[in-house]
Amino acid sequence: MLGVGMSYQWWMTKHTRHHANPNRVGKDPDIEIDTVAFTAESAATQRGVFAWITRRQGWLFYPLMLLEGLNLHVHSVRSLVRRGRVEGRWFELGMIALRTAVYLGVIFWVLPLGMAFAFLGVQLAVFGLYMGTSFAVNHTGMPIVPADAKLDFFTKQVRTSRNISGGFWASTLLGGLNYQVEHHLFPSMARPHLARAREIVREYCYVHEIPYTEMSLARAQAAVVRHMHEVGRAALDPFTCHVLATYRRA
């Protein structure tokens, strides 16, 4: 991720935690509350402008993704300048500063001032939308695992992940992450082999009656928006969230 000006250490730590406990409350950083909420319980805690956004997050989710590129850069730098020991702090800060200086220097040298700012804005927006679109369909809208639940590794990874159908075109667009189930089961497997692994995993899930989710990119995007709408309703009334949470655990 150094190539896009983000901390490698921060990204890998975050991603490793996510892989170990996808969609698990309190352990998966990808469902921790930020601008939007991914669980009804966290939605009910939002206040002020964030509560306003959360109530409408189904409609605002993808527009907000236009800001995700900037958000990732901010979180990356913040993780490096926080108090306490940070492995490789100065090396990573130096690399980010070097990359930023060279990148901005080239842009503002080649382009007129107004066009340079416009280019930066569009580049960050497209980067954020693409990253958000690519990653949201992997787990958003899939089952949320309570903090105290006990699941075996295979069931946990399969039930919380969603594959995207489309073969070659889906792999090209999503960089192989369309085989999200297999990517989580075999994170070190080379991406060209994930398609073959999918056939084996699907058959195993069918035989053992384990839910295996795969759908088109359009249906997956709709599922993401639907989930964000449902979670956002919890911000309307904290009592409603309590009821939803009670029945969810039942």
Q: Going residue by residue through the chain (250 aa), what tens digit of pLDDT does each one get? A: 334 566 666 677 888 899 999 999 999 998 988 888 998 888 888 888 888 999 999 999 999 999 988 888 888 888 888 887 878 888 888 888 999 999 999 999 999 999 999 999 999 999 999 988 899 999 999 999 998 888 899 999 999 999 999 988 999 999 889 999 999 999 999 999 999 999 999 999 999 999 999 999 999 999 999 999 999 987 776 554 444 444 444 4
- Joined together, the tokens standing for residue 199 give 């056939």
Q: What is the dihedral of CA 228, 231, 233, 237, to 10 degrees?
A: -150
Q: Are 162 and 217 in contact (CB under 8 A)?
A: no
Count of structural domains within the chain: 1
* Rounded Cα gap, residues 39 and 195, in angstroms: 31
Structure confidence at residue 90 (pLDDT): 87
| Burial classification of residue 207, based on how many CB atoms lie within 10 Å of its CB (0-12 exposed, 13-18 middle, 19 or more buried) | exposed
Structure confidence at residue 55 (pLDDT): 92
Domain that holds residue 77: 2-249
Full-prediction pTM beyond 0.85? no
**17-27 in b/e burial notation, b at 16+ Cβ within 10 A?**
ebeebbbbbee
Angular region, 121: left φ>0, alpha ψ -120 to 50, beta rest: alpha
